[in-house]
Structures are given as C-alpha cells and as structure tokens.
Amino acid sequence: MTHAKTLTRITYLVLLALLLTAPMLGLYPVFVMKLLCFALFACAFNLLLGFTGLLSFGHAAFFGSAAYVTGWFVKSQGWTPEMAIVAGGVSAGLIGLVVGLVAIRRQGIYFAMITLAIAQMIYFVCLQASFTGGEDGLQGVPRGDLFGLISLQSDTTLYYFVATVFVLSFLAIGRVVNSPFGQVLKMIRENEPRAVSLGYQVDRYKLVAFVLSAALAGVAGSLKTIVMGFATLTDVHWSMSGEVILMTLLGGVGTFFGPVFGSGIVISLQNLLADKVGSWVTVIIGVIFVLCVLTFRKGVVGELQAFRERRRRAAL
C-alpha cells in the first residue's frame, strides 16, 4: 500500500469516528443531519458532474420532488419513513429517467440549459399540484417509526439512522465510480468521441449515470423531509440547483470527499450568517461562486490533492 493510500484511509477512519461521535461532542444533531442530507445531495450530483462530466442545472427537481413524495407518503398515507424514503428515491429516479432521455440529446452548455428548463417546469408543477400544498408546502411531517418499530422521535436515534443511510450511499457511489462501469463514465468525461469509437453506447451510460444521480439526490431530499419535518418550494427552486453546484465546486469536482466538505462549508455559512446578515447570504454565496470559478476551480479538496501531488513529484 502506498503512502498516499494509507493517508486517505486514515483520513476516512478519522472522519467516520467523528461522524459516529458527533452527538457526544456537543454538535447540534439536527444541524449535522441537515449537513449530511446536503452532503449526500452534493455527492449524488458529483457522480454526474465529477465522474461523468455532465453539468445538470436542474438537480433541485429530483431533490425537491422526492422531498414532496416522502412527505406526502408519511403524512397522508401513514407510510413508515424507510418506505417513504425508498418511494422518494424511486420517483426521483423515474423523473430522472424521463429528464435524462430528453437532456442527453444535447451536450455541454445546452445540457445545462435543458436540465434547468425542465427543472423549472417541475417547479411550476409542484407549485400548482394539489398534493404539494402550493405556496405553504408540506408542513409538520412526522418522523414516524423506523420499520414501524423504532421511534425516530429522539434526535440521537434519527441521527444514527441518517448517518447510516449517508455512509451506505457514500460507499455505493464509491463502488459505482470504481467499477468498470465507472471507468467507462470517466472515459466519456475525458474523451467522448473516443468512447464512441471504441464501440460504447455512450448515451446509455450517460442515462444510467443520470438516473443513479437523480435517485440518490432523491434519497437526500427524502431524508431532508424526515429530518426537518417539511418539504417546501425552496427544495425544488433553481437556487437549490445552484447551491448544490456551488457545494461540489467549492469542495472539489470529481473528488470523493470534496462535495461533503463543500456542503459542510456552505451549510455552516448559511447557519452562521442567516441571523446576522439576512439576505446578504445570497450575495456572499454569489461572491464565493465567482471567487471559486476565478481562483480555485479544483476546489478545496482538489487543490489539496494537487498540492500533495506536486510535493510528491518534487521529492522524487
């Protein structure tokens, strides 16, 4: 095992330990849970942008519609939380299938514009549909009993459930990226014409990546509903799509841990600043966006990796 790999492994073990002990360390559990939901959202998004090279500007549609679906099943149908989360993920995946079929007909900048436009359409549907509660959204969604047995009313119980879902999803993304399928995705990112010339049906791979990413974004949205107890239009709004892009970009596009780190920064920043500066938060987010694009496009984790790489080269 190389030095770098050992280092990565140790980092992950430390982070896992931190994750498991967070409630004991006096961190506010609901805050950490919210953070984990957005971290999962960003990781799902990164599967598409970082590992397939497709910039979707409409991921809020998957996050938000799954949030609504879960909220509706729990609140109106009395489903247990895990079933409602599965329902949210599946419906987000199905919406992703339809959106993906349309969007992958164009590339690059057009792909971004198309996903943004379709997401805006879904936003309007959520605004007008009867089961979403319109402007008010779905409020007071109960946490329910996991498998109908374990009450999630206590923050600590819910925390470990959310942490488990997060870790499993994170590992699943890692498994996908490192599989032969993931290698094909990377090839598409690096050189699409070459992938075509080697006989890969590029569109199919892109579509599967899109659906996977949408479904996982849906799981993140569903978890968010269970944790926060509401699903609103904010979840499907285009600014949410922008936020997840920022989280990923800030942390490091195409790195494993970058999106987690990026969402940590953005969510903490919003939490810290919300009471103090009001709507300047939008401005600050905008400024970070601009700085990120102009000065460190690799993101925090990406720049760190690049720095380590340079050091290693210099040492040789």
Give residue for tokens 């498998």.
147
Q: Which is nearer to another protein, 113 or 172 (CB)?
A: 113
Q: State how far the Cα of 263 lies from the Cα of 240, in Å rounded to an integer.
A: 12
Where does this chain touch another protein (CB under 8 A) — which range of 100-108, 153-161, 188-196, 210-218? 100-108
How far apart are CB 232 and another protein at their closest, in Å?
17
Q: Which is nearer to another protein, 222 or 241 (CB)?
A: 241
114-143 positions binding another protein, by CB under 8 A: 114, 116-118, 120-121, 124-125, 128
Q: Which of residues 219-278 bind another protein (CB under 8 A)?
A: 238-239, 242, 245, 249, 278
> Which segments of 121-260 are extended strands (E)?
145-146, 150-151
**List of residues 6+ apart from 142 with CB closer than 8 A:** 74, 75, 229
Q: Count of H helices and E strands in the chain?
A: 13, 2
Q: Buried b vs exposed e over 229-249: b needs ≥16 C-beta within 10 Å?
A: bbbbbebbbbebbbbbbbbbb
* Binding residues for another protein restricted to 2-21, rule: CB under 8 A: none
Cα atoms in the Cβ-side hemisphere of radius 13 Å centred on 200? 22
What does the radius of gyration of the chain's CA atoms come to, in whole angstroms? 19
CB of 287 to another protein, least distance (A): 6
By CB under 8 A, residue 285 contacts another protein: yes
Q: Is residue 207 close enough to count as binding another protein by CB under 8 A?
A: no
Q: Does 300 bind another protein (CB under 8 A)?
A: no
Contact 292, 246 (CB under 8 A): yes
Which range of residues in 74-82, 106-114, 202-210, 259-267 is near another protein by CB under 8 A? Answer: 106-114
Positions touching another protein (CB under 8 A) are: 55, 57, 102, 105-106, 108-110, 112-114, 116-118, 120-121, 124-125, 128, 238-239, 242, 245, 249, 278-283, 285-290, 292-294, 297
